[in-house]
Amino acid sequence: MDPTRDDRRPLPFPQTLRLKAPAQFQAVYDRKKSVSDERLIVYAGENGLPHARLGVSVSRKVGGAVLRNWYKRLFREAFRLSQHDLPAGVDLIMIPRPGPEPTVVQLQASLVKLAAQAAKRLAAPPRGPAPSPAPPPAPAEARP
């Protein structure tokens, strides 16, 4: 590593960039904003912070403990390497899709693309018909 090069940014992955508590995961799932491609499903929710945070969910359907832990390490590495390219203020939960095992480079590309799509969905107004205004209250009739 050449210390005179200034185009390299540090790429740490501290605890503050991770979703850990079940309540943090549930808050993202409750937003019901997800995007996916052939490798990955990404759920997203706002976090109000100046950076993105990562949560990883790998179910037993993927395989044994060794394979699940391999996916988790791969996801964390893809996030670490692409964290400066991700939208700020978004919590992301990565879930693997069935298929061939991806590389870190493939996951980085998918993550950056999907995180941008998810951020757009979070910023967009809700879909569907606009809620109709409440009808005005009926006038009270005078009693004789």
How far is 91 from 46, CA to CA, in rounded Å? Answer: 6
What is the rounded average pLDDT for all residues in the chain? 85
Q: Residue 56 in 3-state DSSP?
A: strand
Place of tokens 């910023």: 123
d(CA 118, CA 42): 8
pLDDT at 136: 65
Q: What is the pLDDT of residues 117-129, one digit of tens each?
A: 999 988 877 666 6
How do residues 18-50 score in pLDDT, each as one tens digit? 899 999 999 999 988 999 999 999 999 998 889
Cα diameter, the chain = 93
Q: Which domains are present in the chain?
A: 15-117 (3.30.230.10)
